[in-house]
Amino acid sequence: MIVAACALAAGLAAPPIGGTLYSPRVEQVAPAGGQRGIEVVVAFVGQRLAEPQELMFTDAGIAVIGLRADKPERCEATLRILPDCPLGPHALRVRTAFGISNLVWFQVGALAELDEKRAGDAAMSIALEHTINASLRGEEIDRYALELQAGARVHCEVTAMRLGFSPVDLALAVVGPDGRSLARVDDTALGQKDPWVTFTADESGTYLVAVEAGFPDAANSGPYRLHVGTFPRPTGALPAGGQPGETIEFDLLGDGAATRARVTLPTDGTQIFRYYPENDSGLAPSPILLRVGGPPNVTPVVDGKGRAMVEFPASLHGVIAEPDQAVRYFFSAKKGQVLEFRALARSLRSPLDPALIAREAGGRFIAYNDDGGGGSADSLLTFTAPADGEFSIEVRDLLRRGSPAHFFRLEGSERSAPMNLRMVVGRLEQPVIAVPQGGRGACVLQTTNADVDAGLELLAQSLPAGVTASFGPILRGSNLVPLVLHAAADTPCVGAHLGFAARAAKAPHERDPGYLQVLPLVTVRNDQPILVTAQRRLPIAVTKAAPFTVEIEPLTAPLIRGAPMSVRVRVQREAGFAENIRVRALWTPPGVNAGQVVIPGTSGEIVLPIEATATAMLGTFPLAIVAACARGGGNLELASGFTEVHVEEPWVTATVGKARGKQGTSLELRVQLARKHALEVPYRAVLLNLPRGVTATETEVAADAEGAVFALTLATDAAPERHRNFVVELRVPAGEGIALHRFGGGEIRIDPSEAPAAVAPGTTARGVR
């Protein structure tokens, strides 16, 4: 009764055994952010949040100095946001004694923060250089009164959808002291669904800033942060990126005159870096985006014909400044050379919708791409040089628009395919692993572009003390790798972010397998993401011991191609734990299939059937199962340890013959046997799946026999037709077990008897009612 005891210790009603506290979930963070350098009390509202133990932040900068829960639907943390805390969203998960929650964001800003306070519909008075944490409800309009002096240039920006909770679509309107509408902004390229506006006060007085739904819909409301100040508001940079660790200088686009800035790009695998522009007026409340990676930045050389010549690989930057403008780069290529061009614009929040056109130097069209960049309006064009010569790659806006803000980054290089790793998760699952004390947690990893020939194996990094990791092999023919984590019974409840390394048998230095989990934060329309974040380390937690453990009984015989096998699964239940437990294989080798079974609440074991196809991969593989029970929305999932399964060729093959006889008679079915493996003891042979009305004897076969004969008896009402679905099963002793062999391909033909049998009323001629 460990689960109940823990819950009671926390002062809560005892959770029903079976795991209603598993799978914690956070649905709201209030306030959604805070100013760096201060302490703030933040509520996490959701489900199954009892016994919170840690806020698992991905990045440094926020210290948790208090964490408590007064009910399962809510826990509260006191956060100390360090003065040098990086700005922007900080990803975190709530770890409880029972699991790890979904990922949510907590925003860190530079401006002083206020909570929304208003009387009825009245406007809330605010001052410049503030962030207001507020929430829009229903069809209300939140108004803020701002006293401004004539000439003040003010930026207002809303963070709502970008909080990462819902696809809320808000608009921002500004009304002058004379009641005249100065601006109404809805979607923006930089903020996606979040608006921002810049205005200059023509006269001194009270200006009203209104936050309202971008369009009326009952669901279009929710929390937001309104930033008001004189901070800079650039929308992009040129160049818009560089390589990891590179210090780049760039011009900021937008917000008046260009300003130069300088930054060193991170080396932690980040591909999109958030840079917060800063000047004497302050820091922008949301970042511009810089690409980290790709080929080095290059400045084209203008040749005598005025052409911008480039040698790829290179990253180029430009602006489609005018409508109908195209920017064209020329390059040389050899026949058959393949180059991949990637236009980055919308993914860097440029308003440009880039289209790429490859041409011969003379202008003749070769290839075109729009939107091939994967999930955004960005484009990816694969170019194969049709001949030796000069070519060009052209960037234009699909709608033929242009402005100084329409910037792009064009990356051109030969194709490369680095290794990549991710955890396989279902639509409603989180890429996290909970490992109960004294138990196991597991997942399946998916590899892409793994160098199978190098004999790669995966390693786990940053494992907590007491936790061990076991990986399955990286196989040719399967891109899935099972991982089982085990926690010793005395391991404390801790959390960790697991890293991965890959080691090749031939060259045993470790390399980065490129673990990257893209997590949808905000989705619309059947889970299509519109805001995502990347997870580069896998969160795991040691949780309180589960009310049951599960093991596979070691397999005593090989799994023969074309035959089934029974895997006995045993569970050890805590007293009183009587939930049904679903059992499935964590992973199976290529060509091996497993079913799903349920262990009834009254039972402690079950047989999980697996079978190998006739072409299943041969060898020895680790087999593990997952046992799960779900109740009340929570899900408790445990794994067994690995057990080896040997997939082998048949030791003996059988060629099944044909037999023919009339209803009501007896006949023989002959089977030819050929040994592929030296057998030492006799074995039994049986016929399975015989048609109704046909019975057969079970036969003992000598170890060196080259054939077997089955005596068949045909009933008078046996179905008179050809039967081909039966199989011969050979039960060959193998150590302490039996290696099942199965063969089909035979035929039993049943002819009608001379005198047709009398057909009983209500019965068809075939005897089938």
By the criterion CB under 8 A, which residues form the site for other proteins?
139, 167, 169, 186-187, 192-193, 214-218, 220, 346, 353, 370-371, 376-377, 398-399, 524-525, 528, 530
**What gap in Å lies between CA 239 and CA 318, rounded to an integer?**
8
Minimum CB separation of residue 271 from other proteins in Å reads 18
Distances (CA, A) of 24 to 11, 20, 48, 56: 18, 9, 5, 13
Whether 28 contacts 94, CB under 8 Å: no
3-state secondary structure of 161: helix
Name which of 167 and 634 has its Cβ closer to other proteins: 167
Q: Per DSSP, which regions of 110-243 are E strands?
A: 112-115, 124-126, 130-136, 142-148, 153-159, 170-175, 181-185, 196-200, 205-213, 222-229, 236-238, 241-242
Minimum CB separation of residue 399 from other proteins in Å reads 5
Name which of 8 and 219 has its Cβ closer to other proteins: 219
Parallel, antiparallel or unpaired: strands 605-612 and 528-535:
unpaired
Minimum CB separation of residue 288 from other proteins in Å reads 17
3-state secondary structure of 493: coil
Minimum CB separation of residue 375 from other proteins in Å reads 9
Name which of 413 and 523 has its Cβ closer to other proteins: 523
Minimum CB separation of residue 157 from other proteins in Å reads 18
Minimum CB separation of residue 497 from other proteins in Å reads 30
**What is the number of alpha carbons within 13 Å of residue 573 lying toward its C-beta?**
18
* Cβ-proximal residues to 443 (8 Å cutoff; 6+ apart), any chain: 423, 424, 425, 431, 433, 482, 483, 538
Whether 182 contacts 343, CB under 8 Å: no
Write down the residue that tokens 């893209």 correspond to: 518
Task: Enter the tokens of residue 148.
Answer: 């401004």
Name which of 272 and 424 has its Cβ closer to other proteins: 272
Peptide linkage before 31 cis (omega within 30 of 0): yes
Name which of 373 and 558 has its Cβ closer to other proteins: 373
Minimum CB separation of residue 193 from other proteins in Å reads 7
Minimum CB separation of residue 275 from other proteins in Å reads 21
Minimum CB separation of residue 265 from other proteins in Å reads 25
Task: Enter the tokens of residue 548.
Answer: 């049951």
710: nearest Cα among 680, 690, 682: 690
Name which of 170 and 599 has its Cβ closer to other proteins: 170
**What gap in Å lies between CA 124 and CA 324, rounded to an integer?**
45
**What gap in Å lies between CA 194 and CA 187, rounded to an integer?**
6
Minimum CB separation of residue 158 from other proteins in Å reads 16
DSSP assignment of 241-272, as one string?
EE-TT-EEEEEEESSSS-EEEEEEPP-SS-SE
- Counts for the chain of helices (H) and strands (E), in that order: 1, 69
Which of the 8 DSSP states describes residue 304?
A: T
Name which of 135 and 350 has its Cβ closer to other proteins: 350
Minimum CB separation of residue 90 from other proteins in Å reads 24
Q: Give residue 234's identity as a one-letter amino acid code.
A: P
**What gap in Å lies between CA 483 and CA 443, rounded to an integer?**
5
Whether 472 contacts 483, CB under 8 Å: yes
Name which of 165 and 642 has its Cβ closer to other proteins: 165
The count of other CB atoms within 10 Å of the CB of residue 365 is 10
**What gap in Å lies between CA 147 and CA 4, rounded to an integer?**
57
Name which of 169 and 729 has its Cβ closer to other proteins: 169
The count of other CB atoms within 10 Å of the CB of residue 644 is 10
Name which of 27 and 187 has its Cβ closer to other proteins: 187
Phi-psi region of 192 (alpha: psi -120 to 50; beta: other; left: phi over 0): left
Parallel, antiparallel or unpaired: strands 510-511 and 467-471:
unpaired
408: nearest Cα among 339, 311, 327: 327
Name which of 358 and 423 has its Cβ closer to other proteins: 358
Q: Is 28 exposed, middle or buried (0-12, 13-18, 19+ CB in 10 A)?
A: middle
269: nearest Cα among 58, 128, 489, 470: 58
Minimum CB separation of residue 519 from other proteins in Å reads 18
693: nearest Cα among 708, 709, 712: 712
Whether 542 contacts 467, CB under 8 Å: yes
Q: Give residue 250's identity as a one-letter amino acid code.
A: F
Name which of 124 and 522 has its Cβ closer to other proteins: 522
**What gap in Å lies between CA 745 and CA 763, rounded to an integer?**
31
> What is the widest separation between alpha-carbon atoms in the chain?
113
Minimum CB separation of residue 361 from other proteins in Å reads 23
SS3 content of the chain, % helix, strand, coil (to 5): 0, 55, 45
Name which of 522 and 560 has its Cβ closer to other proteins: 522
Name which of 217 and 510 has its Cβ closer to other proteins: 217
Name which of 255 and 353 has its Cβ closer to other proteins: 353
Name which of 374 and 508 has its Cβ closer to other proteins: 374
Task: Enter the tokens of residue 165.
Answer: 């909770």
Minimum CB separation of residue 522 from other proteins in Å reads 10
Minimum CB separation of residue 712 from other proteins in Å reads 57
* Cβ-proximal residues to 660 (8 Å cutoff; 6+ apart), any chain: 667, 748, 749, 750, 751
Name which of 371 and 457 has its Cβ closer to other proteins: 371
Minimum CB separation of residue 397 from other proteins in Å reads 10
Minimum CB separation of residue 398 from other proteins in Å reads 6
